[in-house]
């Protein structure tokens, strides 16, 4: 069974580094002439998958927009996830789960178990209780050829005071919270050309501000929000991520979704081509 890291490398080689964020904001549903209902979300998601198929290799549904509609929203989500995986897309569930013990294990079971109604290829995780608390879903991911992305330095400014805080380890080597997460994930991926556990590092943050060593990201996938509507541009990705640029998943949501169901495919292709040129330069 190929690992998630191996499948991600294949997606990079075949379709580039752009990921479509399936972010069903109410204003986008309205622009797409859809109702803000579970059925509207289902149609939105399926049209997004159709536009993405054959253009990008990765999609990232934002689960919160489906969750607003309760069980009907989750039923719509299951259809969208199934369609995306059937189309050969790698699916990252943006769920940002984090807990301890049997609770975090159950989250992993829900999203990372083959045959689960919510099965995806990877999920986002929060390590507020420590990266060690995520052992259950990380072990499940490894056993099933799945992946995970741990939040490290996110693109929202409110997170900076916490994510840049210095860890009190008692050792001479002192890291920020974000850098500590990067270090622990680096250790998990040791020996892999491209690991199956990634980190989230926003395109609008500075590595230096968080004390993150780019050298520790050589085998770590990076899920990068912040492009498009949040201000970062794809042409700057190599400068933003330096030696780690080839591992970056560049997420685009609103900026391309605003092109509508008829224009989305073309908008995505434009961004894929732009990023390919930037990485090849």
Three-state DSSP class for 164? coil
Say which residues have a Cβ less than 8 Å from residue 146's Cβ, sequence separation at least 6: 4, 112, 120, 121, 122, 123, 140, 196
- Contact between 152 and 199 (Cβ < 8 Å): yes
User: Is 96 known to be catalytic?
Assistant: yes
Q: How far apart are CA 66 and CA 80, in angstroms?
A: 10
Q: How far apart are CA 62 and CA 80, in angstroms?
A: 12
From 60, 96, 146, 258, the catalytic residue: 96
**In the 8-state DSSP scheme, what is residue 57?**
S
Query: Six-digit token pair at 164?
Result: 């840049």
Residue identified by tokens 């069974």 is 1
- List the catalytic residues: 96
């Amino acid at each position: 069974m190929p690992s998630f890291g191996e499948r991600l490398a294949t997606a990079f080689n075949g379709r580039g580094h752009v990921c479509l964020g399936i972010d069903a904001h109410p204003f986008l549903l309205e622009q797409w002439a859809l109702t803000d209902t579970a059925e509207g979300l289902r149609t939105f998601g399926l049209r997004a998958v159709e536009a993405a198929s054959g253009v990008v290799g990765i999609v990232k549904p934002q689960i919160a927009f489906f969750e607003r509609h309760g069980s009907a929203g989750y039923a719509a989500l299951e259809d969208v996830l199934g369609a995306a995986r059937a189309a050969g897309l790698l699916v990252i569930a943006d769920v940002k789960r984090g807990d301890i013990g049997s609770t975090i294990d159950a989250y992993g079971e829900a999203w990372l178990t083959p045959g689960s109604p919510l099965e995806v290829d990877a999920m986002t995780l929060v390590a507020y209780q420590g990266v060690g608390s995520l052992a259950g879903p990380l072990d499940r991911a490894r056993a099933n050829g799945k992946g995970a992305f741990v939040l490290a330095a996110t693109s929202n400014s409110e997170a900076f005071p916490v994510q840049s805080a210095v860890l009190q380890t008692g050792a001479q080597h002192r890291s920020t919270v974000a850098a500590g997460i990067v270090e622990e994930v680096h250790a998990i991926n040791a020996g892999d050309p491209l690991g199956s556990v990634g980190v989230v590092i926003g395109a609008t943050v500075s590595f230096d501000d968080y004390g993150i060593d780019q050298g520790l990201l050589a085998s770590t996938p990076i899920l990068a929000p912040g492009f498009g509507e949040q201000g970062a541009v794809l042409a700057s990705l190599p400068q933003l991520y330096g030696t780690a640029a080839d591992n970056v998943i560049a997420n685009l949501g609103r900026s391309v979704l605003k092109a509508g169901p008829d224009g989305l495919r073309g908008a995505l292709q434009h961004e894929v081509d732009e990023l390919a040129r930037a990485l090849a330069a």
